[in-house]
Chains A and B, each alone.
Chain A
């Protein structure tokens, strides 16, 4: 498995502001992923972040809204920009580990936008 931490664990923000979420992994990984989980819903992939290259965004998600950094093999950040109440969600990072490329998840960041 993998030990993954996220900061902050939760936050309440005002609309129009931005929040940067940090994800730290206990060992080096090639691929890191960012997901959004809206209230009572399943997980939706936002983007895949590989170290040394631009993040790859899924349909419906754009870099201007969700800029991602991947400065090294154990760390990534996701910024939720110009927030609106519709951005209220749990944001989760995950990593692939092992021969089967199993994905393991962090504890999530619970964001409420007022």
Chain B
């Protein structure tokens, strides 16, 4: 079946560093992508999204990059803080299809 996967299950960074979390997707028909942050004991929290007609979108300290040629999605977090420690999921959606989640990357930020 079609799935969204993440390249690394864990990522450890120092406070203040920039973090990059990667995701590969397999459904070329997907046209909407979302990054979620899930802290321990909580539900997934929306971070940022991007449509397939864009290749970059910026938020506050976060940037999502989309490369449709190689079906790759990344989340960049600038000046990573201890409060950014969480599990990050990418999710993809195509027309008329359900949201499909990747496996998740656990980000650990040490101060």
Binding site for B on A (CB under 8 A): 1, 4, 33, 41-45, 48, 58, 92, 100-108, 110
By the criterion CB–CB under 8 Å, are A48 and B98 in contact? Answer: yes
- Evaluate contact between A42 and B42: CB separation under 8 angstroms: no
The answer to whether A104 touches B46, judged by C-beta atoms less than 8 angstroms apart, is yes
Chain B residues with Cβ below 8 Å from A1 are 46
CB distance from B93 to the nearest CB of A (A): 8
How distant is A78 from chain B, measured CB to nearest CB, in Å?
14
B46, B89, B100, B103: which contacts A102 (Cβ < 8 A)?
B46
Do A106 and B43 contact each other (CB < 8 Å), given the known contacts A42-B104, A43-B101? yes
Contact pick for A42, options B32, B93, B98, B103, CB 8 Å: B103
Interface size in chain B (residues, C-beta < 8 A) = 21
12 examples of A-B residue contacts, CB within 8 angstroms: A33-B99, A42-B101, A42-B102, A48-B98, A58-B98, A101-B93, A102-B34, A102-B46, A102-B49, A105-B44, A105-B45, A107-B43
Summarize B's interface: helix, strand, loop or mixed: strand
Interface core residue of B34, B43, B100 (most chain A CB under 10 Å): B43
Query: Are A103 and B43 closer than 8 Å at their CB atoms?
Result: no
Interface residues, chain B, with chain A CB atoms under 8 Å away: 32, 34, 36, 41-46, 49, 51, 89, 91, 93, 98-104
Interface of A (DSSP majority class): strand
Q: Decide: B43 and A100 in contact? CB cutoff 8 A.
A: no
Bound-state CA distance A43–B36 (Å) is 11
Q: A41: which B residues are within 8 A, CB to CB?
A: 103-104
Contact status A100-B104, CB under 8 Å: no
CB-based nearest B residue for A98: B49
Measured in the bound complex, the distance between the Cα atoms of B101 and A92 in whole Å is: 13
- Which A residues are CB-close (under 8 A) to B51? 100
In chain B, what residue has the closest Cβ to A58? B98
Contacts of B32 in A (CB 8 A): 100-101
A3 to chain B, nearest CB (A): 12
Question: Is the Cβ of B98 less than 8 Å from the Cβ of A45?
Answer: yes
Cβ distance B107 to chain A, nearest Cβ, rounded Å: 15
